[in-house]
Amino acid sequence: MKYYIGIDLGGTNIAAGVVDESCKIIARASTPTKRPRSCADISEDMARVAREAASAAGISLEDVEYIGVGAPGTVNSETGRVEYSNNLDFYDEPLAEYIESKTGRRVYIENDANAAALGEFIAGAAKGRSSAVCITLGTGVGGGIIIDGKIYSGFNFAGAEIGHMVIEVDGAPCTCGRRGCFEAYSSATGLIRMTKEAMDADPGSKMHEMVGDHVSGRLAFNAMRAGDKSAKAVVDKYIKYLAAGISNVINIFQPEVLCIGGGVCNEGDALMIPLREAVREQVYSKRSQRNTEILRASLGNDAGIIGAAVLGLQRGSEVSL
């Protein structure tokens, strides 16, 4: 049996898992990222959670074929450097080299959204397909593109930034510096902003009664289920923007599967049914006999760990696991 370690480096947590040949996570370890810190310091913790995960699996790091890492930002998978990550304040950091020096294992790195997409492609909702686009609706909108079994990241490793296409010219500001980005409207952050705007405009909305300690991405959906008209308007608006962005992606790539992950997807049919209907009306291929299947991602937070763990296999063109 061969073992691989995948590490998902996030702004909040560092999560590691030992993955076996069947792409199952057999042991885990995690620690807070505790940013802002230097890349060297964070890599110390990444090496430590890798050792802890191996120990939990009853093996040593010497039994691991290699370590794969999914990291946010522009990640050069050829040089092993994180060229830029605004979330971690990394600029041209030799992340793979740092971890290799601390573990004695070969290290492969990739953008975290790309790694998650690879995880869904290898072992999740897109398994068995030749092409897929995976979109994550979280604090931002992450994207990963798989074409013919390979991650597509552009000639400069900055591709697949799906969240930063404009869907509303001169619209809401985005953290990237543009206005009207897909991320500004279809992330959980965008949903929360629109919910707050609706609450300000309607003091009688049930959302005020149901808000609790803070406005969450679930508030509008919950209030909609309770019959609140303002909440339904928020949900309808959110789905309209989400469908516009997804339709753009489908029109460009026509993947076999487009899978959606992130906390917003926990709304289930309340999100997915009207979303599929809205996309069906907008995609250029709507009169075709074959259309992209829109599915919920199935691996959750494990997608990044599994995807990172198979990076070395992909580099060796051995993705048919």
Q: Are 3 and 25 in contact (CB under 8 A)?
A: no
In angstroms, the Cα distances linking 4 to 11, 185, 211, 240, 319 are: 23, 37, 43, 41, 14
Q: Are residues 169 and 287 in the same domain?
A: yes
- Is 109 inside a domain boundary? yes
Residue 135 lies inside a defined structural domain of this protein: yes
**What six digits make up the tokens of 168?**
């509303």
CATH number of domain containing 157: 3.30.420.40
What are the beta bridge partners of residue 136? Answer: 142, 261
Question: Do residues 66 and 140 both lie within one domain?
Answer: no
Q: How far apart are CA 105 and CA 160, in angstroms?
A: 29
Residues 268 and 149 in one domain: yes
Q: How far apart are CA 8 and CA 304, in angstroms?
A: 6
pLDDT at residue 83 in the model: 95
- Domain check: are 145 and 249 in the same one? yes
Mark whether 229 and 292 lie in a shared domain: yes
Q: Is residue 282 part of a domain?
A: yes
Length of the chain equals: 321
Q: Backbone phi, then psi, for 258, in 5-degree steps? A: -120, 115
Whether the CA torsion 181, 187, 189, 191 is positive or negative: it is positive
pLDDT of residue 257: 96
Q: Is residue 254 part of a domain?
A: yes
- Looking at residue 130, its amino acid is S
What dihedral angle (degrees, nearest 10) is formed by the CA atoms of 77, 82, 87, 89? 180
Q: In angstroms, how far is CA 188 from the centroid of its own chain?
A: 13
Instruction: Return per-residue pLDDT of the chain as tens, 321 residues.
Output: 899 999 999 888 999 999 999 999 999 999 999 988 999 999 999 999 999 999 999 999 999 999 999 998 899 999 999 999 887 889 999 999 999 999 999 999 999 999 999 999 999 999 999 999 999 998 889 899 999 989 999 999 988 999 999 999 999 999 888 999 999 999 999 999 999 999 999 999 999 999 988 999 999 999 999 999 999 999 999 999 999 999 999 999 999 999 999 889 989 999 999 999 999 999 998 777 789 999 999 998 899 999 999 999 877 644 433
Per the structure, how many domains does the chain have? 2
Which range of residues forms the domain containing residue 264? 129-296
Residue 143 and residue 285 in one domain: yes
Cis peptide before 36 (omega within 30 of 0): yes
Q: Answer positive or negative: Cα dihedral of 177, 183, 187, 190.
A: positive
CA nearest 186: which of 289, 260, 129, 85?
Answer: 260
CA distance 204 to 199: 8
Residue 174 in domain: yes
- Asked if 175 contacts 87 with a C-beta cutoff of 8 angstroms, the reply is no
- Decide if 124 is inside a domain: no
Burial (0-12, 13-18, 19+ Cβ within 10 Å), 215 = middle
Distance, in Å, from the CA atom of 218 to the CA atom of 226, rounded to the nearest integer, reads 13
* One-letter amino acid for residue 171 of the chain: G
